[in-house]
Amino acid sequence: MKHLAFIILASLAISCNNAPEKSSKNNYLDDSNREDRLSGGVRMIPIKTPSGEFKVWTKRVGNNPTMKVLLLHGGPGSTHEYFECFDSYLPNAEIEYYYYDQLESAYSDQPSDSSLWNIDRFVDEVEQVRTALALDKSNFYLLGHSWGGILAIEYALKHQDNLKGLIVSNMMSSIPDYVKYANDVLGPQLDPTVLAEIRAMEAKGDYTNPRYGELIFTHYYPEHVLRMPLEQWPDPVNRAFARINNDMYVAMQGPSEFGVVGNAKLKNWDRSKDLSKITVPTLTIGGAYDTMDPKHMEWMATQFPDGQYLHCPTGSHMSMYDDQETYINGLIQFVKEVDQRNQ
């Protein structure tokens, strides 16, 4: 009996020793030690600006100590909402990520202060958000889409020591080159009658004419912004467009959909000669039907010392929707490859 009892106890000990450890997926979903647990991952982060202190909205999804992605939306003045398609992919890849509405956008404070609408001030905001979220070189990936790509490049040029990886999505490194591409390549692809009517209104500065918006939305957007019939556009995209801060968008980007015109603050932005200064692993993403020149974005990847390019063959400016599998799987692969290098 003593021998039998010993065998039973030994078996139990072996069984306990071989009990499976808490799975990584469980760890990914475990918010028990996170200070934002009560609010479901949401934090309103105080931001100091020359005009005083304001708060910006962020929301964390998941837990991963070495892979954390901060998402910079486009516009300027759009919202985090169109990134919501990432919920279908990134949790399964166990990548922690942060939604974030920039100041003057959606859930963040909106002081309506145009003196704050400049690149340097936004870069400083991103740095304050990074600090508050405790992101650092061991885990911090920055993804910027469209205007967010401009902001991501500028952030990297100033603060790349904080970055583990950089993703520049659907954004060229030169606004003058973008304007040329829009006028010389994309415009002529429109029906000549439609283009002539658009050009006539632009010549008069008649951008607020409802007809201008109608022509752009029905003829240009479904070809180069999101290649789906407008009535099929996903809800997160529609919500982001409905919430856009148009005053800030026009002040920085301008009213034209064929480049940047007038006194728009981004009109002369060009970092094409500075890309070589960004030495962290960098992924550029472009769509074949993008509002941005995919060849330029492919070229950008060759200028970064540690760059690579992801081409979305059926994608446009919102390639995360109209070439979703290519876009998000390529993003996941990049993040994980960089993470593996550092192990």
List residues bridging with 44 in a β-sheet: 57
Whole-angstrom distance, CA of residue 125 vs CA of residue 212: 34
Q: Among the residues of 160-306, which ranges form H helices?
A: 175-181, 192-203, 210-215, 221-224, 235-243, 246-252, 294-303
CA angle 301, 304, 310 (to 5 degrees): 25
Residue 10 scores a pLDDT above 60: no
Say whether pLDDT at 26 is over 90: no
Catalytic annotation, residues: 146, 290, 317
Q: What is the pLDDT of residues 147-169, one digit of tens each?
A: 999 999 999 999 999 999 999 99
Q: Could you tell me the CA-to-CA distances from 9 to 4, 20, 159, 201 in Å, in that order?
A: 9, 19, 58, 86
Place of tokens 């469980």: 26
Lowest mean pLDDT among 230-234, 252-256, 311-315: 252-256
Q: What domains can be seen in the chain, in order of their start residue?
A: 31-164+267-283+328-341 (3.40.50.1820), 178-252 (no CATH)
Digit-coded pLDDT (tens) for 119-132: 999 999 999 999 99
Would the pLDDT of 93 be above 50?
A: yes
pLDDT average, residue stretch 290-298: 98
Mean of all residue pLDDT scores within the chain: 92
User: What does the block give as tokens for 241?
Assistant: 């467009």
